[in-house]
Chains A and B, each alone.
Chain A
Amino acid sequence: MKTGLGLGLLPFVSEAAARLQWRDITFTGLGTVLSIRAAHQDVVVLEQALQQAKQVIARIEDQMSLFRPDSAIRQLNREGVLRTPAPDLLHVLQRSQQFSAQSQGAFDITVQPLWRVFEQAKAHGALPDAREVAAATRQVGWQRLAVDAREVRFLTPGMGITLNGIAQGYAADRVRETLKQAGIAHALINTGEWSSLGQSAHAADWSLGVADPRQDQALLGRLSLRGRCVAASADALCAFSEDRRHHHIFDPRTGYSPTDLASVTVAASSCLQADALTKVLFVAGFEKALVLAKAWRVDALVVHKSGRWKASEGLQWQSA
């Protein structure tokens, strides 16, 4: 549920690249708008690869989407137990638990009860009161989510999980893999998070525009992908209050949204990691975020609610 990145185009076209056939597909899924731009000399191969990519997304949705009433995790949230989770889901859950352990709980997929109380209050145009938030916070805790190949189970009642903070990143990785296997050399993948293969239609490195979280239709700068994946989270989407103080990213320890950051962009070798780490850095806050990014060996751009920003040195970043 985050965007903030757009497609950057450069006006040079090389002859080699010109022979490639480019296709764009745009569709909805995982609660967002997804798009894939890919190229191949053979249109048939290209179309097939794109269809395969769509199927990959559909399978991930069936497992991990909260937007589909019949998805596996909706079933888990309903019944508290899910037997023999599918391999994809198991992988994402296990990776999630690893991030939780390594980030000392800053990343936590069991924050869903918090989302529920905020969403419920929002339906009546209000914020939940402190008692409700405290009660929901007590139901959050990655240690009380038991994950193994046989079953996934909540150890205490009332728990719930969301993979909205990691499934899009995982989807980008899987689509990239699928396209590569299908013989696609050049592609830009947007599943809410971004991943790429090869070069753009202008035979240049893929580059993304990063939106200014405080100004509609304005760019903060440009980011070159250089084969890496980029994930971003911002307070602007799914805000529970007008001032964006309360939004869809929760600090699992307080039950409220982190207070000082407006957006976090992470570039990493895996989109799943990049996606999860945006939450970790969000919770860490403006001061500590880049230090933490370095420890995780990723690059990041963090924007403070005041509009100040800073980027780590390794980020291929050009401010506007």
Chain B
Amino acid sequence: MTRERMVQAFPAPLVVGEKERDLPVWPIFKQDLTSTTIAAYAFESQDFVAIPGFSGTPFNLLIALDPNGQFMDVRVLSHHEPVFLDGLGEKPLLTFVEQYKDLSLKQSIKIGTGQSKGGKDGSANVYIDGVAKATASVRILNQTLLAASLKVARAKLGYGEGRDPDLIGRIRPDVFKIMDWNALLKAGLVHRTTLKNKEVEKAFAGTAGEGLDAEVTRAPDDVYVDLYAAHLNVPAVGKNLLSPEKWDYLQQRLDPGDHALLVMAVGRPALMSDDFVRGTVPDGFTLNQQKLPIEIRDLDLDAVLKVPANLQGAQWMVVRVIAPAGLDPAMPLDFQLNVTRIKGMVYPERVRQSFAFGGQLPSDYVTQASSDQKTWHSIWTDRWVELAVLVCGLAVLVWALREPTWLMHHPARMFKFRMAYLVFTLCFIGWYAQGQLSIVNLTAVVQAVLAGRSLDFFMYDPMTVLLWAFVVVTFFVWGRGTFCGWLCPFGALQELVSQVTRRLGLSWIRVPQVWDQRLKKVKYVVLAALLVSACVSVAWTDRLVEVEPFKTSITLNFVRAWPFVLWAVALVLVSSFFYKGYCRYLCPLGAGMGVLGKLRRFDWIARRSECGQPCQRCRNDCAYQAIDKQGKVDYDECFQCTDCMVIYESDSLCVPRILAQREGANARVIPINVAAVGPSKEMTS
């Protein structure tokens, strides 16, 4: 953001200040009669966090946070969410971010899912409306907004003031076991860090402090200091180390949410200097969490610790971290021991080095920050019904593809089953649960990997994750057809429409073999173009992925700007004459699936020696033109419609079987009617 754009965003009477020295934050001032005060801190989310959006590229938000932690304004500066690009359009997105205005970072902001909304007014939770069909995108936006704002809040609004208590784990008061010091160490409740003399010397190497400590230089392999750190207010630690009276006393001293941390050192460096004043901020060590400093203060606890004899004389201190500092017990404690060396007597030069110690509390002793929707976990639990239905659906598909006699021996039944499954795929997986896999998933992976971002963002969309996981397994077993023939909602739509056109008496046009072979290669070109563009330009990728009509047809139900609708409708119409033309010739996702389908380990479609020579029955019937003249199945193009498998099993459809039967029958009875031989498409689909 330039100053001009900031001034546009925050016009008079607000005054845009000069960008801060330490953080990419612009103070926004308001002037009243007698003073100029800070109205808000404005910043871009991309300067603080980069959570990839659904396209693999992060949102960039302009956020104005007032000094009380309230959102004065939230705007979307840039995004690449497919659903909001010419999809639903940007309006729902803008309406969505509008809702943040006047909400506070201190509240727990949750995105309502419709069902869970209502009746929650006045609670610590605020519900804002999500955007249908864009649930993952708005959650990623919410996460981006809160993460960036928390960072600014901690830096600018004083420590922890703006920290959302929901994001902090809690120590479990109910977990307790009698343990001695060694057991505590073993359980990871007391963290021990040993510093050797040589490690300390190494840190000072090349500074004025090098070689000043004779003791260290003399015995480089000796221990310089043993450092221990522990959460004393965890019952399993505190009750085991303190007498019951002191434990009660400690509880009294701590306000709700406060932490008491024990730091112990055995060795030469002093935890506190000679002139250290009890009750103040310790000078010998500091505490950080997630790179942010946390203020600690000596609790001045006078007690006898139950520690082994060799530690009785150790120096220790219990420090308090007050609740608003936002220490998260579920995150590691990063203590730093400060060691200062002084060179010279008259005008001493001081060199200070820090050495890390501390550790993380085992997870059994903390309740993780839960119940918030800021991470993807809850979206999985929220959608468990849909996910369960999907799992059942996938199980049925696995059963069907394992060629049960109940289906394979009954062509009519198989046809009905297949149609029913495609309706399920289109209506449930596609339109209802929004589980259309897309080429965008692949380009997003490419973009996120190139930018070095994590792929966590997929987890915001459980349907997609589950489907991809299943599809990847099917690559090894059945090849690409499992997805393309059964689980792709747009594929199902095309197929169902072409069934309707057939019922209307219109016939499909079979592309001449030469052209079919050429056209089938087009989709690989499209895929290659998209992958290259994903590596090069986010903006171009946004445009190119529109070759895929999935967003228009499945995500948005054809409610979209007319050029997109025209494209999608045209593709559906074309494929009702050229059977599944989009899938076979153009679909980049299908091409990707075809490539990945090479992982297939089995030629699982049974063939006879007669197939291809001389019999061309299945080849003629294969609407995908995926069986060659020799009768070989081209698995890269096979959609697993099972037509040829049904024919194979049928005495009345498979020519070699008919002939064999006829020969057998001739021996006994002369049939009155000979079964029809030749191409028949009645049972194809």
Find out whether the CB atom of B275 lies under 8 angstroms from the CB atom of A26.
Answer: no
CB distance from B425 to the nearest CB of A (A): 58
Given contacts A26-B17, A58-B21, contact A158 B277 (CB under 8 A): yes
The stretch from B35-43, B137-145, B398-406 touching chain A is B35-43
Q: Give chain A's interface residue range (CB within 8 Å of chain B).
A: 20 to 34
Of all chain B residues, which has the CB nearest A212? B34
In the complex, chain B residues whose CB is within 8 Å of the CB of A307: none
Of all chain B residues, which has the CB nearest A61? B21
CB distance from B372 to the nearest CB of A (A): 27
In the complex, chain A residues whose CB is within 8 Å of the CB of B588: none
Q: Does A177 contact B (CB under 8 A)?
A: no
The stretch from B25-33, B357-365, B504-512, B568-576 touching chain A is B25-33
Q: Does A150 contact B (CB under 8 A)?
A: yes
CB distance from B385 to the nearest CB of A (A): 48
Of all chain B residues, which has the CB nearest A154? B275
- Report B262-287 residues with CB < 8 Å from chain A CB: 274-275, 277, 280, 283
CB distance from B550 to the nearest CB of A (A): 49
A123–B160 CA distance with the chains assembled, in angstroms: 13
Find out whether the CB atom of B347 lies under 8 angstroms from the CB atom of A6.
Answer: no
Of all chain B residues, which has the CB nearest A57? B21
A24–B322 CA distance with the chains assembled, in angstroms: 41
Pick the residue among B17, B293, B347, B350 that contacts A150 (CB under 8 A).
Answer: B347
Q: Does B20 contact A (CB under 8 A)?
A: yes
Given contacts A33-B29, A83-B347, contact A26 B34 (CB under 8 A): no
Find out whether the CB atom of B27 lies under 8 angstroms from the CB atom of A27.
Answer: yes
A183–B348 CA distance with the chains assembled, in angstroms: 43
Of all chain A residues, which has the CB nearest B156? A28
Find out whether the CB atom of A219 lies under 8 angstroms from the CB atom of B17.
Answer: no
Find out whether the CB atom of B29 lies under 8 angstroms from the CB atom of A217.
Answer: no
In the complex, chain A residues whose CB is within 8 Å of the CB of B274: 157
Of all chain B residues, which has the CB nearest A25? B18
Of all chain A residues, which has the CB nearest B352? A79
Q: Does A78 contact B (CB under 8 A)?
A: yes
- Report A6-36 residues with CB < 8 Å from chain B CB: 6, 24-29, 33, 35
Pick the residue among B34, B38, B283, B347 that contacts A78 (CB under 8 A).
Answer: B283
A124–B20 CA distance with the chains assembled, in angstroms: 30
Find out whether the CB atom of B32 lies under 8 angstroms from the CB atom of A28.
Answer: no
A96–B37 CA distance with the chains assembled, in angstroms: 29
Pick the residue among B16, B18, B27 that contacts A54 (CB under 8 A).
Answer: B18
A50–B207 CA distance with the chains assembled, in angstroms: 38
A211–B275 CA distance with the chains assembled, in angstroms: 44
Of all chain A residues, which has the CB nearest B274? A157
For B463-491 the 0/1 string (1 means CB < 8 A from A) is 00000000000000000000000000000
Q: Give chain B's interface residue range (CB within 8 Å of chain A).
A: 20 to 34
Find out whether the CB atom of B322 lies under 8 angstroms from the CB atom of A123.
Answer: yes
In the complex, chain A residues whose CB is within 8 Å of the CB of B20: 27-28
In the complex, chain A residues whose CB is within 8 Å of the CB of B275: 80, 157-158
A157–B277 CA distance with the chains assembled, in angstroms: 9
CB distance from A31 to the nearest CB of B (A): 12
Find out whether the CB atom of B37 lies under 8 angstroms from the CB atom of A33.
Answer: yes
- Report A117-171 residues with CB < 8 Å from chain B CB: 123-124, 150-151, 157-158
CB distance from A137 to the nearest CB of B (A): 14
Given contacts A26-B15, A58-B21, A157-B275, contact A6 B35 (CB under 8 A): yes
Q: Does A209 contact B (CB under 8 A)?
A: yes
Pick the residue among B17, B34, B293, B349 that contacts A6 (CB under 8 A).
Answer: B34
In the complex, chain B residues whose CB is within 8 Å of the CB of A158: 275, 277
CB distance from A229 to the nearest CB of B (A): 18
In the complex, chain A residues whose CB is within 8 Å of the CB of B27: 26-28, 33
Q: Does A4 contact B (CB under 8 A)?
A: yes
Pick the residue among A3, A69, A124, A150 that contacts B34 (CB under 8 A).
Answer: A3
Pick the residue among B35, B280, B283 that contacts A3 (CB under 8 A).
Answer: B35
Given contacts A78-B283, A150-B347, A157-B275, contact A211 B34 (CB under 8 A): yes
- Report B13-71 residues with CB < 8 Å from chain A CB: 15-18, 20-21, 27, 29, 32-38
Of all chain B residues, which has the CB nearest A83? B347
A6–B38 CA distance with the chains assembled, in angstroms: 15
Find out whether the CB atom of B37 lies under 8 angstroms from the CB atom of A6.
Answer: no
Find out whether the CB atom of A211 lies under 8 angstroms from the CB atom of B35.
Answer: yes
Given contacts A27-B27, A33-B29, A83-B349, contact A209 B34 (CB under 8 A): yes
Find out whether the CB atom of A4 lies under 8 angstroms from the CB atom of B283.
Answer: no
A28–B29 CA distance with the chains assembled, in angstroms: 10
Given contacts A58-B21, A158-B275, contact A24 B15 (CB under 8 A): yes
Find out whether the CB atom of B36 lies under 8 angstroms from the CB atom of A35.
Answer: yes
CB distance from B447 to the nearest CB of A (A): 37
Q: Does A49 contact B (CB under 8 A)?
A: no
Q: Does A5 contact B (CB under 8 A)?
A: yes
Find out whether the CB atom of B33 lies under 8 angstroms from the CB atom of A6.
Answer: yes
Of all chain A residues, which has the CB nearest B21? A58
A211–B255 CA distance with the chains assembled, in angstroms: 39
Find out whether the CB atom of B277 lies under 8 angstroms from the CB atom of A28.
Answer: no
A79–B276 CA distance with the chains assembled, in angstroms: 11
In the complex, chain A residues whose CB is within 8 Å of the CB of B349: 83
Find out whether the CB atom of A219 lies under 8 angstroms from the CB atom of B34.
Answer: yes
A180–B293 CA distance with the chains assembled, in angstroms: 41
Given contacts A26-B17, A150-B347, contact A33 B38 (CB under 8 A): yes
CB distance from A249 to the nearest CB of B (A): 18
Given contacts A78-B283, A158-B275, contact A26 B35 (CB under 8 A): no
Of all chain B residues, which has the CB nearest A210? B34
In the complex, chain B residues whose CB is within 8 Å of the CB of A58: 21
A150–B344 CA distance with the chains assembled, in angstroms: 14
Find out whether the CB atom of A4 lies under 8 angstroms from the CB atom of B35.
Answer: yes
Of all chain B residues, which has the CB nearest A26? B17
A54–B27 CA distance with the chains assembled, in angstroms: 15
In the complex, chain A residues whose CB is within 8 Å of the CB of B16: 26
CB distance from A262 to the nearest CB of B (A): 14
A70–B123 CA distance with the chains assembled, in angstroms: 41
- Report B292-313 residues with CB < 8 Å from chain A CB: 293
Given contacts A26-B29, A33-B29, contact A79 B350 (CB under 8 A): yes
CB distance from B9 to the nearest CB of A (A): 16
In the complex, chain A residues whose CB is within 8 Å of the CB of B293: 69
Find out whether the CB atom of A217 lies under 8 angstroms from the CB atom of B32.
Answer: yes
Pick the residue among B17, B32, B350 that contacts A27 (CB under 8 A).
Answer: B17
- Report A59-101 residues with CB < 8 Å from chain B CB: 61, 69, 78-80, 83
A79–B274 CA distance with the chains assembled, in angstroms: 12
CB distance from B2 to the nearest CB of A (A): 14
CB distance from A251 to the nearest CB of B (A): 22
A209–B36 CA distance with the chains assembled, in angstroms: 13
A25–B27 CA distance with the chains assembled, in angstroms: 11
Pick the residue among B34, B38, B347, B350 that contacts A28 (CB under 8 A).
Answer: B38
In the complex, chain A residues whose CB is within 8 Å of the CB of B15: 24, 26
Given contacts A150-B347, A151-B347, contact A33 B34 (CB under 8 A): no
Of all chain A residues, which has the CB nearest B22? A68
A219–B275 CA distance with the chains assembled, in angstroms: 48
In the complex, chain B residues whose CB is within 8 Å of the CB of A69: 293
In the complex, chain B residues whose CB is within 8 Å of the CB of A116: 280
- Report A166-217 residues with CB < 8 Å from chain B CB: 209, 211, 217
Of all chain B residues, which has the CB nearest A4? B34
In the complex, chain A residues whose CB is within 8 Å of the CB of B17: 25-28, 33
Report B's interface with A, CB cutoff 8 A.
Answer: 15-18, 20-21, 27, 29, 32-38, 255, 274-275, 277, 280, 283, 293, 322, 347-350
Report A's interface with B, CB cutoff 8 A.
Answer: 3-6, 24-29, 33, 35, 54, 58, 61, 69, 78-80, 83, 116, 123-124, 150-151, 157-158, 209, 211, 217-219
A-B contact pairs, 27 of them (CB 8 A): A4-B34, A4-B35, A25-B18, A26-B15, A26-B16, A26-B27, A26-B29, A27-B17, A27-B27, A28-B17, A28-B38, A29-B21, A33-B29, A33-B36, A35-B36, A61-B21, A69-B293, A83-B347, A123-B322, A124-B255, A151-B347, A209-B34, A211-B34, A217-B32, A218-B33, A219-B33, A219-B34
The 4 closest A-B CB pairs, nearest first, are A157-B275, A211-B34, A27-B18, A6-B34
